[in-house]
Amino acid sequence: MLVGVILALLQLRHVNRLRQLEIVMRLYAQFGSDAFQRHYWRVMRWKFRSFEAFERRATREDYISWWTVSAFFEGIGLLYHRRFVSLALLDDLMSGPIIDSWVKTRTVVEGYRQKSGHPQLGEWRQQLAETMQRRLAKMETSSGKRKAVDAAGAATAVAKPQGHGRGKTSRRMSLAGGPRRGGKRRCG
């Protein structure tokens, strides 16, 4: 009987992991779609330095892109908050875009929070990005990596060279919209 209970618990754990993986892979497929990528890269190329500048100069397409990207990452943040997906899995797939998109749009989100009187706007997205930043900082500290600051001012991991003169490159993307030097092009 005890063996049956243990097997049932192991099966439940396995089913839960499969469910998490299925959810994230569906989201990742949406993230990789041409339609979403157009919105994502439009937002990542913004030059708005403040909420006021966004309100003054943003086009209808800028608003659509902002809402599309915000809603996508807000949904992922809510799934993480409700424990439907693990932080480790999100880290492996899209930690860079989670953090970079939050950094890029933070002033707009905070401006709309204040203007609309809805402090919860984008809360799960912000929570996820900040949690991911803490996770990466902790991992970088514990693995002996040092932090470097790229041109956009965001901390990025730079691995110490390991063996045979080769440097291990980070898999995370920079804010500049592509992989860091020497890395393979990946989204996460």
> 């899995």: which residue's tokens?
89
The dihedral sign for the CA sequence 77, 150, 180, 142: negative
Domain residue spans of the chain:
2-158
State how far the Cα of 137 lies from the Cα of 163, in Å rounded to an integer. 24
Backbone angles phi, psi at 119, to 5 degrees: -65, -15
For residue 155, the cross-strand partners are 149
pLDDT, tens digit, for every residue of 98-151?
Answer: 999 999 999 999 999 999 999 999 999 999 999 999 999 999 888 765 444 333
Per-residue pLDDT at 24: 79
The pLDDT tens digits along the chain (188 residues) read 888 888 888 888 888 888 878 887 888 899 999 999 999 999 999 999 999 999 999 999 999 999 999 999 999 999 999 998 899 989 999 999 999 999 999 999 999 999 999 999 999 999 999 999 999 999 988 876 544 433 344 444 444 333 333 333 333 443 334 433 334 434 44
